[in-house]
Amino acid sequence: MKLIFIGDVVGRPGRQAVRYWVPRLREREGAEVVIVNGENSAGGSGITERTARELFDAGVDVITSGDHLWDQKEVVSLLRNEPRFIRPLNYPPDTPGQGSTVIELEGQPAVAVMNLQGRVFMAAMDNPFVVAVPEVERLRRITPIIFVDFHAEATSEKIAFARSLDGQVSAVVGTHTHVQTADEQVFPNGTAFLCDAGFTGPHESVIGREIEPVVRRFTTLQPQRFAVAKKRVFIQGAVIDIDPTTGRARTIRRISEAMPPQEN
């Protein structure tokens, strides 16, 4: 079984890259499932029903999120009404929405998708190391194939979290930093790992935003408006090959594909 995960989609350029590349990647890789982190898909900050629909219409099966979950007020409707959209599991129990979902596939085992958020250099949340365990146990009673988007800042926390689940889930891929790492590997017990999937959007930028306002913010410490950049648009993420019987990952390979010039 092939699964594609796409890193943080930033604004309109990122959505355009998803529309262009997801159908092509599905065909090229023979992927059964496509998962996208969409927490920055609406104007570079948050997600709306319209931007979520645009991603689903492009062929995305599940949308994950992270610390920008609440940046658009429309997200509450998504959380309550869209089972293919998930937020970090380690929010308090009465938070709207869900931290995992299960995709049913014809002729294949179901695929479970979980979303958790780290705590190092991030907002206070329930402990993801603790919260994940009972949910993984519950999902393993449904399917051996479990994919985890771990939305976190610190590389040590990402690696430790993934190591703690080695053999219990098929893959743990990190998001949030918008910088694709080169540490893809399959751990000894069969869990694929990548510290950060990178981001889908304009790379002539500072992690998706226009360069000069970000430089001015660091230089002057004064507030600036960080508009989404436009140039050199890439889609980034990973392709994971999973044994459908055991749920163990066979391989993980990074994706980083530029938009053709006429499509930018």
pLDDT in tens, 70-128: 999 999 999 999 999 999 999 998 999 999 999 999 989 999 999 999 999 999 999 99
What local confidence, expressed as pLDDT, does residue 263 receive? 63
Q: Is residue 168 part of a domain?
A: yes
What local confidence, expressed as pLDDT, does residue 261 receive? 80
Q: Percent of the chain at pLDDT above 90?
A: 94
Mean residue pLDDT of the chain comes to 96
Across the range 128-155, mean pLDDT stands at: 98
Q: Is residue 150 part of a domain?
A: yes
Q: Is residue 75 part of a domain?
A: yes
- Number of domains making up the chain: 1
Q: Is residue 111 part of a domain?
A: yes
What confidence tens digit (pLDDT) does each residue in 232-259 have? 999 999 999 999 999 999 999 999 999 9
Contact yes or no for 190/211 (Cβ under 8 A): no
**Catalytic residue chosen out of the listed positions 68, 151, 176, 178:** 68
Across the range 22-43, mean pLDDT stands at: 96
Is 68 noted as a catalytic residue in this protein? Answer: yes
Across the range 146-150, mean pLDDT stands at: 98
Across the range 127-135, mean pLDDT stands at: 98
| pLDDT greater than 70 at residue 155 | yes
Q: Is residue 88 part of a domain?
A: yes
CATH at residue 153: 3.60.21.10
Domain that holds residue 129: 2-258
Q: Is residue 264 part of a domain?
A: no
Q: Is residue 263 part of a domain?
A: no
What local confidence, expressed as pLDDT, does residue 264 receive? 55
Across the range 32-52, mean pLDDT stands at: 95
Q: Is residue 110 part of a domain?
A: yes
